[in-house]
């Protein structure tokens, strides 16, 4: 029986991935950094490195991600990749981020390279910005002010539904024909934030608009919300890449790997309308 370790199993992508794997009859070992509350959970803290050996013993596949809030992703993931290599896992899928491979020295790229050179059967998936950000990270601004406040101008993004990322990861974890390949994952269409705000406004009947803000205002807001300065600066940097147009590209990877077209943002907005009405 195959056992898959899922890092970030309580998070946006990992929870859906765990559900998909379990639904297909696979055994899932769900990682949490907190005290486990369920029999299928295991405690592993990527920051301290505690729990890695116990978490990986007996698994033959693993899904890796670096938790948000940290800019040293290669240091967090390196020991897990080492442990996976020592145990000869049959597949390791790493979720990185679209654009991470633009700089060979970027921390996420360094984690990708370590995995690619590990000798393990690997996949790297690099999703674009998640649709789900609109009801998580950007929710407060929408509820409090009716505004999506971001320093991205009129640039477009091919936002991806996290459920499609999970579906891709589930497929890659269980098939051999695509091992050793990386994939940029996007939705099928690119929209700017005015267009996304209009979709949410139409669905909810609320006055919700996009407002372009300066990178400095964004940084101040993120730090004010409690993010560490270095991570806040990292987010402002990559929002600058969005503004420069790097998030607009679309790929056919979701369709090619899962056999299904990516979910559309209009459908995502309809399904989540209640979150912007509370
Ligand atoms: N949001 C986007 O638009 C976007 C776009 C591209 C790529 N990404 C990438 O997506 C990843 C985040 O995925 P997500 O949104 O699915 O996650 P998420 O919903 O933010 O959840 C984070 C997960 O990390 C776990 N975690 C937190 N601290 C941990 C620690 N010290 N050790 C082990 N696990 C820890 C949490 O579990 P516990 O609380 O149970 O420990 C939780 O399951 C990041 O690597 C980010 O770069 C995001």
Looking at the predicted structure, is the pLDDT value of residue 99 above 90? yes
Q: What is the pLDDT of residues 147-201, one digit of tens each?
A: 999 999 999 999 999 999 999 999 999 999 999 999 999 999 999 999 999 999 9
> What H or E segment, with its residue span, contains residue 29?
strand 27-32
Mean pLDDT value of segment 22-51: 97
Q: For residue 137, which atom of ligand 1 is closest to its CA? A: 1
Check residue 107 and give its pLDDT: 97
Check residue 238 and give its pLDDT: 97
Sign of CA dihedral 249, 252, 258, 262: positive
3-127 CATH pick, 1.10.10.10, 1.20.20.10, 3.40.720.10, 3.40.50.720 = 3.40.50.720
Q: What is the pLDDT of residues 219-264, one digit of tens each?
A: 999 999 999 999 999 999 999 999 999 999 999 999 999 999 999 9
Q: For residue 8, which atom of ligand 1 is closest to its CA? A: 43
Q: For residue 13, which atom of ligand 1 is closest to its CA? A: 16
CATH class name, domain 128-159+188-249+261-278: alpha beta
Distance in Å, CA 84 to ligand 1 centroid:
20
- Mean pLDDT of all residues belonging to the chain: 97
Instruction: Give the residue among 117, 115, 118 at the shortest CA–CA distance from 96.
Output: 115
Mean pLDDT value of segment 50-77: 97
Q: Whose CA is nearest to atom 25 of ligand 1?
A: 8
Using CA atoms, how far residue 250 sits from 22, 183, 184, 235, in Å, is 30, 12, 9, 21
Distance in Å, CA 8 to ligand 1 centroid:
5
Categorize the per-residue pLDDT at 52 as very low, low, confident or very high, splitting at 50, 70 and 90: very high
Categorize the per-residue pLDDT at 215 as very low, low, confident or very high, splitting at 50, 70 and 90: very high
**What burial class does residue 40 get, using C-beta atoms within 10 Å of its C-beta: 0-12 exposed, 13-18 middle, 19+ buried?**
middle
In the structure, which protein residues have their CB atom closer than 6 angstroms to any atom of ligand 1? 7-14, 31-34, 44-47, 65-68, 95, 97, 127, 129-130, 133
* Range(s) of the chain covered by CATH 3.90.25.10: 128-159+188-249+261-278
Extract the tokens encoding 205: 């009947």
* Range(s) of the chain covered by CATH 3.40.50.720: 3-127
Angle at the Cα of 227 (from 222 to 228), degrees rounded to 5?
120
Distance in Å, CA 66 to ligand 1 centroid:
6
Mean pLDDT value of segment 23-37: 97
40 Cβ contact partners less than 8 Å away, ≥ 6 residues apart? 27, 28, 29, 30
DSSP 262: P
Check residue 131 and give its pLDDT: 98
Q: Which of 44, 67, 186, 193 to mutate to test the pocket of ligand 1 (most atoms within 8 A of CB)?
A: 67
Distance in Å, CA 202 to ligand 1 centroid:
30
Sign of CA dihedral 57, 30, 125, 164: positive
Check residue 278 and give its pLDDT: 80
Q: Whose CA is nearest to atom 40 of ligand 1?
A: 32
CA–CA separation, 261 and 161 (whole Å): 11
SS3 85: helix
Mean pLDDT value of segment 114-122: 98
Does the pTM surpass 0.85? The reply is: yes
Distance in Å, CA 207 to ligand 1 centroid:
31
Check residue 148 and give its pLDDT: 98
Looking at the predicted structure, is the pLDDT value of residue 1 above 80? no
């Amino acid at each position: 029986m195959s056992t898959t370790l899922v890092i970030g199993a309580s998070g946006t992508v990992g929870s859906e991935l765990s559900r998909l794997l379990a639904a297909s009859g696979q055994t899932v070992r769900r990682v949490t950094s907190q005290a486990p509350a369920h029999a299928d959970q295991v405690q592993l803290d990527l920051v301290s490195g505690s729990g890695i050996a116990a978490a990986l013993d007996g698994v033959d596949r693993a899904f890796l991600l670096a938790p948000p809030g940290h800019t040293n992703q290669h240091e967090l993931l390196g020991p897990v990749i080492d442990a996976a290599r020592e145990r000869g896992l049959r597949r390791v899928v790493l979720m990185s981020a679209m654009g991470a491979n633009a700089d060979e020295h970027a921390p996420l790229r360094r984690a990708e390279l370590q995995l690619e050179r590990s000798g393990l059967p690997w996949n790297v998936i690099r999703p674009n910005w998640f649709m789900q950000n609109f009801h998580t990270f950007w929710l407060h601004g929408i509820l409090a002010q009716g505004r999506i406040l971001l320093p991205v101008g009129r640039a477009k993004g091919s936002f991806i539904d996290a459920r499609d990322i999970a579906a891709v990861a589930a497929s890659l974890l269980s098939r051999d024909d695509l091992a050793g390949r990386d994939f940029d994952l996007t939705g099928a269409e690119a929209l700017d934030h005015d267009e996304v705000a209009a979709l949410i406004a139409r669905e909810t009947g609320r006055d919700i608009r996009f407002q372009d803000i300066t990178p400095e205002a964004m940084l101040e807001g993120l730090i004010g919300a409690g993010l560490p300065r270095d991570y806040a600066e990292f987010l402002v940097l990559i929002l600058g890449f969005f503004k420069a147009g790097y998030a607009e590209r679309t790929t056919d990877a979701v369709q090619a790997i899962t056999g299904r077209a990516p979910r559309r943002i209009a459908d995502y907005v309809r399904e989540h309308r209640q979150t912007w009405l509370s």
